[in-house]
Amino acid sequence: MQDQASQDMSPPNADGAEHAVTPESALEQQLTETQAKLSEMHDAFMRAKAEGENIRRRAQEDISKAHKFAVESFAEAMLPVRDSLEMALKVDNPTIESLKEGVEMTLKQMASAFERNKLVEVLPAVGDKLDPMKHQAVAVVPADQEANTVVTVLQKGYMIADRLLRPAIVTAAQAK
């Protein structure tokens, strides 16, 4: 029987005293572990929350900068155009030919600036179908072509990428 009694006893501690595992001590250990895990989870949550706030703040700053400097690329492309116009005004005795040549060169610079910044002309050809998403008909005129087609272009339109900036102003053919 003594063997059975010795099996029921807990092994001795490091200091030689016997230590019995009681339900209270097991609960205290479990509570301590749970509190440590809770503290760890709270710390992780607070770090994640702070990181989320930092990401949100950086995104708002990026959006603000994008709005503020959205025109920067286009403005840089237009500076040579302005320089050319200012130089043309400084010429003492311009001739018609030199003015015409200067205007043509300046127009090429502007076309290049438009192209680099995805500013595209909307210039329908005579006879093209009227597209209300790109064209604005200011008059309907009798014509020898199909109804609702472009008869004349009064003013070019422009698009930036896929967005209409200004519609082409046109006259359209009247239904027969």
DSSP assignment of 62-122: HHHHHHHHTTHHHHHHHHHHHHHHHHHHH-SS--HHHHHHHHHHHHHHHHHHHHHTTEEEE
> Distance between CA atoms of 17 and 97, rounded to whole angstroms?
113
pLDDT score of 173: 94
Q: Per the confidence metrics, is the pTM higher than 0.85?
A: no
Sheet holding 163-166, edge to edge: 119-122, 157-160, 163-166
**Mean pLDDT in order along the chain per 10 residues (176 residues):** 47 53 87 95 96 95 86 89 91 90 94 92 94 95 92 96 94 88
pLDDT at 5: 45
CA dist., res. 112 & res. 149, Å (int) = 30
Model pLDDT, residue 22 = 84
Q: Please tell me the predicted confidence (pLDDT) of residue 9.
A: 46
pLDDT attached to residue 96? 92
Which residues does 88 contact at the CB level (< 8 Å), separation at least 6? 94, 99, 102, 103, 106
42 contact partners, CB below 8 Å, separation of at least 6: none
SS3 150: strand
Give which of 146, 135, 138, 155 is closest to 173, Cα–Cα. 146
Q: Strand, helix or coil at 29?
A: helix
Identify whether the C-beta of residue 170 lies closer than 8 Å to the C-beta of residue 128: no
Write out the two tokens for 89.
């005004």
The whole-number pLDDT of residue 19 equals: 58
The rounded distance, in Å, linking the Cα atoms of 24 and 18 is 17
